[in-house]
Structure 1
């Protein structure tokens, strides 16, 4: 007994000494494999396609060199359009005779409901290219990118690189001697950043839209890296299966799809337009790496590695060729059923199966493991539930192979080896996606809004991931001799981490050109004019409206620019959007008094006529002339309602704030914008029926700048990205 006791004590001592090191090596080894997989842009051993990344990189550099390509600007409507058309003409000259290439420049006008308001576009620009067999085609797959960019940004990843990829794919496919079965329509749309207007103009108005049976949308939520398939469908599992068969370097996740479609991520893509207005199934993919510089001046061509371009080109070319040769595309409605569970394994291959199978597996696991998943209804509806099922079923299977004899007899080495081997796939798959989640969401939380604490979101993510990753190691705590000592060490590490996080020692921004993490700030040199019911000006002022696009506001900016402090914090007035020309409405704003900006041509807002309609409504006809970006807000007074207007389907829908908003943009040239509204209500008009605010934004040209604005911009620190322009705000009562 004494000898056995000594042996047990010796084994326990060795276990206590070696267990932490073993677990650390295990976790670090898995982390290393995940890091290698995510950094390996091109799948080892995969056959490269006919896509030439060098050609695409040349296209990318030249499009991004045009710099800020906002809708309505000469850069977007002339320079970018002409460059793309020139490249298409070059491709036409080299095409094989088995293909036809048709090019059309579309300049649509229309309106639709978007994000709780309405958007109206006039003479924006799309370039549509149809590649089809010489005999013609009755069906087509659509490949979409957009060449416009956010104001003051070169937009290399969002979305010049995607247009460069599509140009090279067009050239590659058109030069081959193998004819396609169906057509491929390449849409280079010029107004995505303006509430997805370009795609809406194409899918609702272009005659080729009737040919489209499926689409691929190329987007960005970061700069470079791997492009993630984060939306598919709706339903149509055959599209995912097409990607699985044809993609050379797969990177796909049903978890990402359900996160994005939940609305957590504050953005949208053309996928929504094709799905909702075209009723077309599709695939949505986007670059997600380095989201810190997304929509900033740092989104330049040199930051996108050529291997990122190659992998996107290989994947999209493969999927387009597969779809354009598929029998399914001609009658995809027959396959429009069910959902699919899909995910890639370390970028090497994709696992996919029907959600029906996944649900049945969840039921079985739920029955077998009621302690883990007790509520059966929670298992339905979520394709991503495979993720949690994996953490239940694989450890259960592993437990069947664990040695049953006592650990004191020396079998603990075998026990640990089998246990850790059984956890290998859940661990490596989980860390793979945890890495992706933090890569994607850390910068997103930093630009989410001014009211949601990013630290809170990050803490929730960290706690959830920690619980998942460490819960299966808890039993090892009880295998060591001094449990108390180990718990004290863990508590000490947690305490030190907590103190460091709360101390403020870690500055959240960086101006390092090799790895910038800028703070986003909007500055608008604004003139405001308020009119009463008689049309008289009752108030006017001017200043620089500052929007701190961050939860911390301007606390980090004030030491550099002392006048930007809480003493000049803007107060929300009783007027639409708080009486300011917000382009993106944020609740933390500062208003620095300044002389009016010099504007050579101001917005003209006019009530041209009004008439009482037979159904008891008052119709007001308006005419608006101004820059390419304007927004009109309508607020009916008490006892009155906005019953109808000339926009969209004629049914006004209020935004989240209760007012009715219309975001307007136009191309290089557009006529006077004319619209009408109808107001119903009381016969007492003494206080007016409606308040209307009209805001204008000068995003390019000489009107974009002012001396005071330029002077202030020079004082911002290098780790910030102040995006600036001139704007106006006019309020009227009718």
Structure 2
């Protein structure tokens, strides 16, 4: 049925006249609702949705407000002025890299911030507000993943703004950091957030609008080391006990909006406050769950405040243009004024909301579970509790199943076919659709695997649009192919083609319902995503049943298409947002994971959610198989393009590749003080899947080797791995030896102060003093038959041997205080002499700052890298001792 090409004539003669006798002028043509459309409209139909993506979803994501200027300030009193923040940001960038422990960070940057706070104090409303300023210098240590993170003399600038008439003892904490990664001025990460905080402080302090609870602005000076200054504040500052809620501001990119990607935990009132007060929301539960799944190679101070201060709060980050994150290209010119305006307005209104929230008195009374939250294209915000989300998800899923059953029963009645035949037909279509879903998953995975096997990963890194051909098209083909081929070949004339096509839609609906139920029972809050797709289909199906369009050929497709516009816009907006965040992150996600799998799966998710129902509508057109093969044709074209220079991942300045390496000299001292090894070279910690291939034509890498054998023979591979991330990836490291010794600025001093022996207890105590550069790592491991029973560091590793295995890693840095580090180890040996070797001690010294010379050979080596590669490098000395 429905295969005729002609139009059905409708006559305007009287009811007793024959159509054949009617005048030709009285005969009009009307489309048959059971008639398929010509094939020529099929490509247009498919193209239409991609045009919507490019014309609506992407521009909506990129749209920012106009940044207010100083000239406009008079007309906008008590509002955030982006130009003022922008001017401070320019001054911050001129300082250059702000590495913890350097003069630039500990003196110049801190003084600039103090000067800006003093400017605010001169214009603030002193009659209404009280401002207190404190510079905290703090030392401490804590467990950070697999290492002890120890710091000395970390600095924080803390500003407390209070309403003089308020009696509240609660405070809102707003935090960001002013230090930066080595080699980067840190303008986006997180200079932009710092100047937004300053302008927010100015607006609040100069207004005539009081607030109930104090607001503490924490400008922390050591986040990149990692997360030391926040630990120092929340565990030791005098104002920390008053903090009852947190707004954390960070960055994984530069520009665009601030993404709310963590909340709570277990404080729904936070999201209610966000919903009520934020003018331009930008948030999703999905980002939170992706972050908690450790799929994002980053961490923030939010975790420190949560774990060590039990602070509930909201965690924000600029995540767009992550290509420049932690590079020298993270500069003033890539941050539009509208970005500062967007975040500034939201922070200002949110600060006022929290500062007057009654829940701030005792937040624990309002700790009632997790929240499901998401914005709708930045226009409005939806949030509800996890329990409410489960009810909504299950209700929509059950409603979908019921309506599908009603629809199939109605199809059986209208077709005058036995119900068993109709249900058998639906079951067959459902099984075919499951096959299609499997193909939609498998095809992108196959493509991702093949590209990786051919060392062609990340062809989409610069040109994100390549994912359309590489992953969207094969996913669409796989999803639709089984049912399209079946409907084209089906000879069952008892059930009309239009009804069979509805069954295909119902099959996708039932599959989504099953997914909703399973994910809800499993506790996945992001289940709201398939629930939304399912919900809009349920509404269209209900309307079709009520209006009887359900039984008028293909007329039901009109409401279905209209109903799919909203979810299409939402899901393409969301997935584009996530791709803009995740794609740059694959450039620093390490070498162990195939990034094409990650991007392929993320793209597949967006494809199924945004076009899961739409793609099957190609069966409305004649020759739908040809439309499917058009998708394969597009895929082939994109594959060809990806194999040209267009598919080369990196571009100078805009989307560089990252290479981390150390200029290493490693010296192994034996027990008797002799040197068994003294060699130099470059130790590489490659950041993405392409490892050294993009630079092998520019550098002589003929002697480059994997350090696997070193890792088998030596403690910590015998290299000065920097922090826990470097330590975790050490087995993937590469070593390029050099004939000439690399330049080391100076040799640190490790002094054995004392060795004491307790023969009765079979214990030996070693006391040391270390004086060196700003950053160090200590590696310690007892020899066979010896146990480390005590040391001067926190005892977590010693008290939980099942959780932490040797070699033990202690990361240490000097900040504003370079007093030599004194530490000790106490060891026990149950049998044998105590006079022989007992343990290995490795000392890594890192000269991270550009204040230290790299030497002529090192500078030449750096210059040899192509301009599409950003290098993060510094000299490092590794000394292995046996005591």
Determine if the TM-score, normalized by the shorter chain, exceeds 0.5: yes
**1:552-574 CA distance string (max 9 Å, x none):** 1221212112x124545545412
Separation (CA, whole Å) in 2 of partners of 1:245 and 1:372: 32
Q: Which of 709, 719, 725 does residue 858 from structure 2 map onto?
A: 709
In the TM superposition, residue 666 of structure 1 has moved relative to its aligned partner by 1.3
Map of 1:474-513 to 2, 5 A cutoff?
474-501=615-642, 506-511=647-652, 513=653
Q: Which of 722, 735, 751 does residue 590 from structure 1 map onto?
A: 735
Residue 782 of structure 2 contacts residue 788 of structure 2 at CA under 8 Å; is this kept in 1? yes
Map of 1:451-470 to 2, 5 A cutoff?
451-470=592-611
In the TM superposition, residue 539 of structure 1 has moved relative to its aligned partner by 1.2
Which residue is 1:62 aligned to? 91
In the TM superposition, residue 195 of structure 1 has moved relative to its aligned partner by 1.4
Q: Which of 676, 680, 702 does residue 538 from structure 1 map onto?
A: 676
Separation (CA, whole Å) in 2 of partners of 1:632 and 1:135: 51
Separation (CA, whole Å) in 2 of partners of 1:36 and 1:353: 28
- Any idea what SS the aligned residue of 2:119 has? helix
Residue 213 of structure 2 contacts residue 355 of structure 2 at CA under 8 Å; is this kept in 1? yes
- Any idea what SS the aligned residue of 2:309 has? coil
Separation (CA, whole Å) in 1 of partners of 2:572 and 2:757: 65
Which residue is 1:301 aligned to? 332
Matched, 1:116 2:146: yes
Residue 546 of structure 1 contacts residue 589 of structure 1 at CA under 8 Å; is this kept in 2? yes
In the TM superposition, residue 547 of structure 1 has moved relative to its aligned partner by 3.2
TM, length-normalised to structure 1: 0.93
- Any idea what SS the aligned residue of 1:535 has? coil
Q: Which of 33, 38, 41 does residue 18 from structure 1 map onto?
A: 41
Separation (CA, whole Å) in 1 of partners of 2:696 and 2:518: 52
Residue 636 of structure 1 contacts residue 691 of structure 1 at CA under 8 Å; is this kept in 2? yes
User: Structure 1 residues 401, 23: closer, same or farther in 2, change over 3 A?
Assistant: farther
Q: Which of 761, 764, 788 does residue 642 from structure 1 map onto?
A: 788
In the TM superposition, residue 523 of structure 1 has moved relative to its aligned partner by 2.9
Residue 703 of structure 2 contacts residue 737 of structure 2 at CA under 8 Å; is this kept in 1? no
**1:317-368 CA distance string (max 9 Å, x none):** 1111111122221121211111111111110110111111111122234445
Residue 553 of structure 1 contacts residue 588 of structure 1 at CA under 8 Å; is this kept in 2? no
Q: Which of 509, 515, 520 does residue 379 from structure 1 map onto?
A: 520
Q: Which of 816, 821, 826 does residue 668 from structure 1 map onto?
A: 816
Which residue is 2:24 aligned to? none
Separation (CA, whole Å) in 2 of partners of 1:612 and 1:605: 21
TM, length-normalised to structure 2: 0.78
RMSD between superposed Cα atoms in Å: 2.8
Matched, 1:87 2:116: yes
Separation (CA, whole Å) in 2 of partners of 1:601 and 1:588: 25
- Any idea what SS the aligned residue of 1:529 has? strand
In the TM superposition, residue 550 of structure 1 has moved relative to its aligned partner by 2.2
In the TM superposition, residue 609 of structure 1 has moved relative to its aligned partner by 2.5
Higher normalized helix content (fraction of residues): 2
Residue 540 of structure 2 contacts residue 559 of structure 2 at CA under 8 Å; is this kept in 1? yes
Residue 42 of structure 1 contacts residue 249 of structure 1 at CA under 8 Å; is this kept in 2? no
In the TM superposition, residue 704 of structure 1 has moved relative to its aligned partner by 4.1
Which residue is 2:313 aligned to? 282
In the TM superposition, residue 88 of structure 1 has moved relative to its aligned partner by 1.0
In the TM superposition, residue 709 of structure 1 has moved relative to its aligned partner by 0.8
User: Structure 1 residues 639, 390: closer, same or farther in 2, change over 3 A?
Assistant: farther
Residue 43 of structure 1 contacts residue 348 of structure 1 at CA under 8 Å; is this kept in 2? no
Residue 3 of structure 2 contacts residue 36 of structure 2 at CA under 8 Å; is this kept in 1? no
Separation (CA, whole Å) in 2 of partners of 1:458 and 1:404: 41
- Any idea what SS the aligned residue of 2:364 has? helix
In the TM superposition, residue 649 of structure 1 has moved relative to its aligned partner by 4.6
Which residue is 1:41 aligned to? 64
Q: Which of 375, 385, 396 does residue 538 from structure 2 map onto?
A: 396
User: Structure 1 residues 35, 66: closer, same or farther in 2, change over 3 A?
Assistant: same
**1:411-432 CA distance string (max 9 Å, x none):** 53x4332111111222111111
Q: Which of 247, 262, 266 does residue 231 from structure 1 map onto?
A: 262
User: Structure 1 residues 705, 419: closer, same or farther in 2, change over 3 A?
Assistant: same
In the TM superposition, residue 481 of structure 1 has moved relative to its aligned partner by 2.3
Matched, 1:605 2:750: yes
- Any idea what SS the aligned residue of 1:108 has? strand
User: Structure 1 residues 180, 686: closer, same or farther in 2, change over 3 A?
Assistant: same
Residue 67 of structure 2 contacts residue 81 of structure 2 at CA under 8 Å; is this kept in 1? no
In the TM superposition, residue 504 of structure 1 has moved relative to its aligned partner by 7.2
Which residue is 1:431 aligned to? 572
Separation (CA, whole Å) in 2 of partners of 1:2 and 1:588: 64
Map of 1:305-454 to 2, 5 A cutoff?
305-368=336-399, 369=401, 371-374=511-514, 376=517, 378-380=519-521, 381-402=523-544, 412=554, 414-454=555-595
How many residues are treated as equivalent by the alignment?
728
Who wins on radius of gyration, i.e. which is larger? 2
Residue 544 of structure 1 contacts residue 594 of structure 1 at CA under 8 Å; is this kept in 2? no
User: Structure 1 residues 378, 346: closer, same or farther in 2, change over 3 A?
Assistant: closer
In the TM superposition, residue 599 of structure 1 has moved relative to its aligned partner by 4.0
Residue 575 of structure 2 contacts residue 603 of structure 2 at CA under 8 Å; is this kept in 1? no
Separation (CA, whole Å) in 2 of partners of 1:387 and 1:407: 28
**1:705-726 CA distance string (max 9 Å, x none):** 2111111112211111112211
Which residue is 1:72 aligned to? 101
In the TM superposition, residue 20 of structure 1 has moved relative to its aligned partner by 3.3
State which drifts further: 398-407 or 521-530: 398-407
State which drifts further: 465-474 or 84-93: 465-474
State which drifts further: 663-672 or 481-490: 481-490
Which residue is 2:161 aligned to? 131
- Any idea what SS the aligned residue of 2:647 has? coil
Map of 1:91-102 to 2, 5 A cutoff?
91-97=120-126, 98-102=128-132
State which drifts further: 494-503 or 539-548: 494-503
Q: Which of 538, 548, 568 does residue 686 from structure 2 map onto?
A: 548
Query: Where in structure 2 are there 5+ consecutive unaligned residues?
Result: 9-30, 69-75, 402-509
- Any idea what SS the aligned residue of 2:778 has? strand
Which residue is 2:472 aligned to? none
State which drifts further: 715-724 or 599-608: 599-608
Separation (CA, whole Å) in 2 of partners of 1:265 and 1:199: 21
In the TM superposition, residue 600 of structure 1 has moved relative to its aligned partner by 4.8
Separation (CA, whole Å) in 2 of partners of 1:683 and 1:115: 34
User: Structure 1 residues 155, 44: closer, same or farther in 2, change over 3 A?
Assistant: closer
Matched, 1:726 2:872: no
